[in-house]
């Protein structure tokens, strides 16, 4: 196993530098071989096996790697944008559900602190959320600026000018195709293919009858139970009513060992 000494660090960095520069050096060597050079720049031919390896590296780098990297970095293809009026209504609907604007904004920026979230960060986030783009367009600046001002009213403060170090949550895309990421053929953010077992893990790994439950764990379990109860009542496609039986058992028994139900168990059953 590699240690942490200075010599070993230098060795690892040297290996990394060597591997990173194989392709550029190979390409440069091929250019020098093919292009007439002044006598001062003339180079001796390397042994045939090494030369063949360098040519192969250069060919792979130029023919496959560079085009494929360009392909991966191209902009994603997004659906047609709804009209501005509909985008504004969506923005208002989102704001209507916000109880704690500071926490809301921070969560969208991965828990970043207030001083790290500046005006350009918020604009960048709104462009992605409502315009499906990361590019600045003068035609849309008035709309984005309006969203920022509305957010400032919610926050009760001005958002500082400039751009901070915060990064917002973005949609998950497949780097190979730039298409929305799928799991077993289903869209991650639309069809929620992992929702079922995530739900099971979230609620099944918590025992409300345990004696060492923290306040944060109780609040998290209560919020999750409330969410799934409301989700069940709101849609016929999401039925988690079987979990209610488990909640009733936690609250009213029968239990494996004689015990008294905790407050959180009874509260969850009432939800």
pLDDT at 254 over 70: no
pLDDT at 263 over 70: no
Which residue, 53, 2, 1, 10, is CA-closest to 29?
Answer: 53
Choice between 226 and 28, residue whose per-residue pLDDT is larger: 28
Residues 6+ apart with CB under 8 A from 190: 180
pLDDT at 117 over 70: yes
Helices and strands counted in the chain (H then E): 12, 2
Choice between 259 and 56, residue whose per-residue pLDDT is larger: 56
pLDDT at 39 over 80: no
What pLDDT is stored for residue 168 in this prediction?
Answer: 81
What pLDDT is stored for residue 198 in this prediction?
Answer: 66
Structure tokens at 80: 């047609």
Residue ranges of domains in the chain:
6-73, 84-155, 195-270
Q: b/e for 55-87, b at 16 or more Cβ within 10 A?
A: eebbeebeeeeeeeeeeeeeeeeeeeeeeeeeb
pLDDT at 29 over 70: yes
Choice between 115 and 184, residue whose per-residue pLDDT is larger: 115
pLDDT at 127 over 70: yes
pLDDT at 55 over 70: yes
The fraction of the chain above a pLDDT of 90, given in percent, is 10
Each residue of 168-223: pLDDT tens digit?
A: 876 555 555 555 566 555 555 554 555 665 666 666 666 766 667 777 777 777 77
What pLDDT is stored for residue 152 in this prediction?
Answer: 92
pLDDT at 11 over 60: yes
Q: How many CA within 13 A on the CB side of residue 254?
A: 1
What pLDDT is stored for residue 148 in this prediction?
Answer: 92
Each residue of 136-161: pLDDT tens digit?
A: 778 888 999 999 999 999 999 999 99
The average pLDDT across 45-70 equals 86
Four-residue CA torsion sign, 111, 112, 118, 122: negative
Global pTM value: 0.43
């Amino acid at each position: 196993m590699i240690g942490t000494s200075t010599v070993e660090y230098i060795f690892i960095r040297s290996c990394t530098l060597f591997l990173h520069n194989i392709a550029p050096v190979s390409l440069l060597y091929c250019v020098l071989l093919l292009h007439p050079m002044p006598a001062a720049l003339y180079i001796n031919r390397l042994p045939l096996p090494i030369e063949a390896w360098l040519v192969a590296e250069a060919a792979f780098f130029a023919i496959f790697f560079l085009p494929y990297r360009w392909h991966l970095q191209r902009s994603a293809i997004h659906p047609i944008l709804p009209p501005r009026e509909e985008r504004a209504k969506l923005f208002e609907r989102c704001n209507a559900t916000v109880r704690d604007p500071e926490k809301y904004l921070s969560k969208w920026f991965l828990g970043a602190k207030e001083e790290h979230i500046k005006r350009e960060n918020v604009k960048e986030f709104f462009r992605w959320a409502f315009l499906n783009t990361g590019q600045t367009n003068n035609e849309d600046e008035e709309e984005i600026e309006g969203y920022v001002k509305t957010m400032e009213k919610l926050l009760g403060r001005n958002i500082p000018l400039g751009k901070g170090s915060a990064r917002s949550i973005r949609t998950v895309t497949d780097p190979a195709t730039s298409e929305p990421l799928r799991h077993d053929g289903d869209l991650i953010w639309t069809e929620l293919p992992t929702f079922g077992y995530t739900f099971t893990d979230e609620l099944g790994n918590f025992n409300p009858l345990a004696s060492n439950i923290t306040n944060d764990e109780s609040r998290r379990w209560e919020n999750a139970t409330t969410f799934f109860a409301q989700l069940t009542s709101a849609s016929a496609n999401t039925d988690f009513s079987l979990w209610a039986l488990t909640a009733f058992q936690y609250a009213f028994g029968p239990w494996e060992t004689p015990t008294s139900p905790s407050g959180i168990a009874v509260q969850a059953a009432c939800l």
